[in-house]
Amino acid sequence: MPSLTWVVALSDPALAAEVSDLRRRLHEAGFTDAGPLPARPEDAGRRSEGGTDRVCHATVVWADHRLDDALTERLLGLPGPVVLAGPTLDAADPCGSLAEAAGVDPGCRTPVHDVRVRPGRDAGPLLAERVPDHSHTGGAHLGPHSHVRDGVLTLDKADDDVEVLLTARLGLADQPVATWRPRTGILTWTLGARPGAVTARGPLRLLLLALRRVTGLGEPAAVRVGLLGYGAIGHEHSRAVRAVPGLELAAMCDVSPQRLADARAHAGEHAARLRTYDDAEALIADPQLDLVVVSTPPSTHAAWARTALAAGKHVVVEKPFAIRTCEADGVLELARERGLVAMVYQNRRFDPDYLALRSAVRAGHLGRLFHLEAFVGGHGHPCNLWHSDAAVSGGAFYDWGAHVLDQLLDLVDDEVQHVTAATHKLRWFDVTNADHSRVTVRFAGGAEASFVYSDLAAALKPRWYVLGTEGAVVGHWRTERVIGRTDIGTLAEDVLSPADSPPLLDLHAADGSVTRLATPPGPAHAFHAELADRIQLGLASRVTGEQSRRVLAVMEAAVSSAESGGLPVVPR
């Protein structure tokens, strides 16, 4: 187990708080806290394992004012790696002895701006493959990069034996922001000189990987993934697993030979080494799998998740988590017992409109939220698949509700007081789901959030209607068309469902002004990238199994409330 000794000398309390949070996150990622700097240099730095010395300890220095000479001399005498982080090089080393040991000559720090961090010439696969590729958002000319809002410390020079791990572009030059000098064991990490730039997810991932490199941990093993069920969502999981560094598509299972053939065709160059099964238990028993993605109908989610966990596999379950909370509790308890990950694919947590709305809320543009409405639907016959069979899917509350209620519960950081709900069955009698359903969540602090899903809505409500004490956001549906030609040259027009296009968001301020919020696409395959970070690196994910269990509890309470004529029900 690698360990870190911390030397923190920060006069900025906000920066000190972020570094403290960083220490907690690195501890969760497997880097134990080794306590204060040892009195004797020979007490730190190496541990013998099986007769072989392996570096497993580093000292991290984060300082924004001058270190005394005695402390600097002790740091230079340490046998293990020393990380000079944040403002240390430009604020804590006026005599330049630490910079000299690092083999760099620091210049000045730029003003704070959007810094794009890129792999350096010596990054190697460990770092280079984990820098996101933003070509899907029009950033192909920029190459892979990670964003952080910070200043960049320019380096006037770096010695020939200094490895450049990460850089940031200033003008036409690449400025190193992370360097490693093996001869002296000094890693410089000049990001994180201001609050907000220490624990940002992109740089945090790269810092963790740099620490793995210098402490000898190296590249974590790939997570070998098996897809259990290859229905409508199969291509999405296949594409994401093949695109995300750290994940490896290894196997898939479906009872349909045609779907397995489609899966192989979609896998492209990966198809040759892809193992296929028509029996779920055989897939789960595959000893070469680390993770199983359960994409079977909802009524079977919990059973297959428990089977996979019992076999020692991490699990991702499609929405909803299960039909009953007791089933989800069993999955989460088994995952905790086995030390494994159990998550639900809450992919709409990363929808462009939701990310924009959440950002506006977190920035305080709406003030305190007190009334939230969300709507999905239209007027038309529901699908005839298991989605419309309440015995299999859980009913209307469980289909889109698994998405939208997850968003609403993420927006309102408060305990749920009770749930009320109502349903109508008036027209589509050949399916068992309700034609129209409404669920309202009352929070302990007084806020209310409602979600309506309808197959009887000839007129659409806004996708979002969110009120706060300082402003509001309204999400307007779009009706988009894909225009083409038929094979004889006439117009071919495919009208998309409103739910297939991100809505337009308007921010209404208290003074009457209205601002259209930008809704650019987020990082590609964000859920799967965080999943890889969670399993390989120990970094926390924004989506957790416990959050999805909370969503399930609200949906379960909604069913009970609707059956009782709308009486309030407290979620379990």
380 has a pLDDT exceeding 60: yes
Q: What is the pLDDT of residue 284?
A: 98
User: What are the tens digits of pLDDT across the range 431-447?
Assistant: 989 999 999 999 999 99
Return d(Cα 369, Cα 512) in angstroms, integer. 18
403 Cβ contact list (under 8 Å, min separation 6): 319, 346, 348
Sequence-distant (6+) residues with CB within 8 A of 470 are: 364, 365, 366, 367, 368, 509, 510
Tell me the helices (H) and strands (E) count for the chain, helix number first.
17, 29
Q: Provide the β-strand partners of residue 509.
A: 471
Return the CATH number of the domain spanning residue range 223-345. 3.40.50.720
What is the arithmetic mean of pLDDT over 390-404?
A: 90
Could you state, in order of their start, the residue ranges of all structural domains in the chain? Answer: 3-214, 223-345, 348-563
Its CATH class, for the domain covering 348-563, is: alpha beta
Q: Each residue of 80-136: pLDDT tens digit? A: 899 999 999 999 998 899 999 999 999 999 999 999 999 999 988 777 777 766 554
Residues 6+ apart with CB under 8 A from 368: 468, 469, 470
pLDDT of residue 370: 98
> What CATH code is assigned to 3-214?
3.40.50.880
The owner of tokens 């598509």 is: 249
What integer pLDDT is reported at residue 134 of this predicted model? Answer: 56
How far apart are alpha carbons 385 and 367 in whole angstroms?
42
Q: Do domains 223-345 and 348-563 have the same CATH topology?
A: no
| Cα separation, 135 vs 329, whole angstroms | 40
The CA distance from 478 to 467, in Å, is 21
Task: Please give the Cα distance from 131 to 201 (Å, whole number).
Answer: 11
- φ/ψ region of 148 (left if φ > 0, alpha if ψ in -120 to 50, else beta) reads beta
Give residue 58's pLDDT band: very low, low, confident or very high (50, 70, 90): very high
The pLDDT value given to residue 55? 58
**What is the structure's pLDDT at 49?**
37
Distances (CA, A) of 199 to 118, 132, 207, 360, 433: 17, 17, 10, 20, 44
Overall residue count recorded for the chain in this entry: 572
Q: Please determine, for residue 141, whether its predicted confidence score (pLDDT) is greater than 60.
A: no
